[in-house]
Amino acid sequence: MTQSVSVRPVRGKADLKAFLDLPFALYEKDPNWVAPLYLERLEHLDAAKNPYYRHAEVELFLAFRGERPVGRISAQLCRLRTERYQDGVGQFGFLEAENDPEVFKALSDAAAAWLKARGATRIQGPFSFSINDEMGLLIEGFGTPPSVMMGHGLPYYASRMEEQGFAKAKDVIAYDILDKGEMPRAMRAAYDKALAEKDVVIRPLDKKKLTSELEAIVAIANDAWSENWGFVPWTQEEMTALGNNLKMLVTGDYVAIAEYRGEPAAMAVTLPNINDWITGLDGRLLPFGWAKLAWNLFARPPRSIRVPLMGVRKRHHGTALGAVLGMSVIARIRDYHVGRGTSKGELSWILEDNMPMRRMIESFGGMPYKTYRVYERAID
């Protein structure tokens, strides 16, 4: 007789290890899955180290068939999101499970019940943990590995979630934006125009002034995205965490800041696609993984990069100047990375209905190549 599925909260080191280990068996035959680094995931799930926990309540769950782990999910309620929208939405994330409707039902019901007990009336996700982290369920683009801080997934996940009553809330798009050919004409024209404009300065990040530079980047992001679907502002602690990552991973030329009349007005931030470097490490840096990672990090340019942050201040939206500023920061980082030999770039993610941004990206040759879906349902 087949044993029924049970779900319980993660408690203790053994459960946490099982939570982190669970995807390895699921993706054993998927050549495009990249095992995340254990140390990084442990920090992300550590309430003392992840600033998300300062404004959110979180529970992790494991599903078992007998004593064998067969699925996992998180449930989380973000105070900043609740205060901003007051729409009764709680969120789930970290979804991984065997191809079994009973497992998906048990996991989603457990997350929904936990959220309902805290006043939520709808459940939405996946977010691992927030909209500023890994988000969305991959529905198109399974044939290539994910970029850094973007999810992967198995093709049956969407069907299993829809069987549980989940429906599309929003799609987001990942764009392929880099090649080694000539800069697209529209981008070159915008960049040349910006460089010739006396009121516009396009420059790299000044790491000697990292604190003030980060303040400018976050201020642009919080302003540029303030009316976007699901937006939650970056906090001071999250800004500090961003700074620590940038300080460790990038040079100043990975970031472009456009100033208009002396004020930072647009920015683009790139990260090396660390997933290229950790493939094959199985999530572990010991005994020799640290040496491979260090070699890749310091000895040569990355094969690919990701643009996780890009924005233009809201006052310039819908203007010719705004288009020039947006294209110019992308053009600057493109020149830098292509000049070093980097061959692939991803700009992600972009809301499906953010047509001004999508048209701008596509005007300089960007191609959509992955789609991620956020699902939602009422909590009974």
Tokens of 86: 């007051």
pLDDT of residue 261: 94
Tokens of 188: 């070159």
> Measured between alpha carbons, how far is residue 281 from residues 29, 276, 285 in Å?
16, 11, 7
CATH code of domain 185-364: 3.40.630.30
Per-residue pLDDT tens digits of the chain, which is 380 residues long:
478 999 999 999 999 999 999 999 999 999 999 999 998 999 999 999 999 999 999 999 999 999 999 999 999 999 999 999 999 999 999 999 999 999 999 999 999 999 999 999 999 999 999 999 999 999 999 999 999 999 999 999 999 999 999 999 999 999 998 776 667 777 777 778 877 888 999 999 998 998 899 999 999 999 999 999 999 998 888 888 877 877 777 889 999 999 999 999 999 999 999 898 888 778 887 666 666 666 666 667 888 999 999 999 999 998 889 988 998 999 999 989 998 889 899 999 999 999 989 998 898 889 999 999 999 999 98
The dihedral region occupied by 122, where left means phi > 0, alpha psi between -120 and 50, and beta the remainder, is: beta
pLDDT of residue 146: 96
* Domain chopping of the chain, boundaries: 5-172, 185-364
pLDDT of residue 249: 77
Q: How many angstroms separate the CA atoms of 332 and 186, rounded? A: 14
pLDDT of residue 191: 79
User: Considering the entire predicted model, what is its pTM?
Assistant: 0.94
pLDDT of residue 79: 97
For residue 254, give every residue at least 6 positions away whose Cβ sits within 8 Å of its Cβ, in sequence order, or none. 205, 246, 269, 270, 271, 272, 305, 333, 336
User: Which CATH superfamily does the domain covering 5-172 fall into?
Assistant: Gcn5-related N-acetyltransferase (GNAT) (3.40.630.30)
Tokens of 372: 């991620």
Query: Is 277 in contact with 296 (CB distance < 8 Å)?
Result: yes
5-172 and 185-364 in the same fold: yes
Backbone angles phi, psi at 348, to 5 degrees: -155, 150
3-class DSSP assignment, residue 180: coil
SS3 content of the chain, % helix, strand, coil (to 5): 40, 30, 30
Q: How many angstroms separate the CA atoms of 174 and 306, rounded? A: 10
